[in-house]
Amino acid sequence: MNILDTIIAHKRTEVAARKAGTPASALEKQDGFNRKVLSLKEFLLNDARTGIIAEFKRKSPSKGLINGTADVVEVTSAYAKHASGLSVLTDENFFGGSTADLIAARVNQIPILRKDFIVDEYQILEARAMGADVILLIAACLTPEEVKRLATFATQLGLEVLLELHDEEELAHICDETILVGINNRNLKTFKVDIERSLAMARRIPDNRIKIAESGISAVENILLFRNNGFRGFLIGENFMKAADPAKAFEDFVQELKAAKAP
């Protein structure tokens, strides 16, 4: 099995255990379940924002520990000043995240993506309960029918859906409920980054979708290139989190981006 298959197999077992411990009815009674959802689409289309979806991530299977000391509230609050959205990892086993991280980040009044491996409606109920605004559906681990079912369930709960694609064969996963479409520049099997392949693939995504570039973005020039190819969102995590001070790394990046946009 590749790493994605390993993660999904573990996730199914993990979700089954959580289902047994906390019924859906209990999730629906939590404070976050009925809060007003913020629209990532609207924030991405707001030109006063940077388009960056800034991610809080402690570790990854490919990189190992990225930042084990950063404070989630401090970092996400710094991100929220200029970002169009936040992405918070909630997978514990492979990424060192937690539900508590997203709940803590909810002090910020910008959209939050629950970054996890969604395979079951129960996880979408969890996302709503913990205060997320957006869920991630990864085409590489779901069939088009599963994406449609899960995305429909999410939108019925008032959540937005970010569909993540990795290759052109996955374009068939796009459905009416997936307005936000991300292209992961990193191959999940080889972990190689190929921006040119992503740009070519983006041309096949319908114009009525919000295109988001994911992974491998480390320079302002990357964002300018993606913008020129119709992208509105840029999910960046490791580039900031690997710094000793992620908040400062983000602020410096934003100032460089603003300077590049100036006439």
The number of angstroms, rounded, from the C-alpha of 34 to the middle of its chain's C-alpha atoms is 21
Task: Report d(CA 31, CA 76) in Å as an integer.
Answer: 21
Q: Is 169 a catalytic residue?
A: no
Task: Report d(CA 43, CA 233) in Å as an integer.
Answer: 10
Single out the residue of 114, 196, 122, 203 nearest to residue 162, CA to CA: 114
Task: Report d(CA 131, CA 133) in Å as an integer.
Answer: 7
Catalytic residue among 57, 84, 211, 239: 57
Q: Is 242 a catalytic residue?
A: no
Q: Is 87 a catalytic residue?
A: no
SS3 state at 124: helix
Catalytic residue among 160, 170, 177, 214: 214
Catalytic residue among 184, 185, 198, 239: 184
Q: Is 57 a catalytic residue?
A: yes
C-beta separation of 232 from 212 below 8 A: yes
Q: Is 164 a catalytic residue?
A: yes
Catalytic residue among 11, 41, 115, 148: 115
Q: Is 92 a catalytic residue?
A: no
Q: Is 196 a catalytic residue?
A: no
AA identity, residue 40: L
List, by residue number, the catalytic residues. 55, 57, 115, 164, 184, 214-215
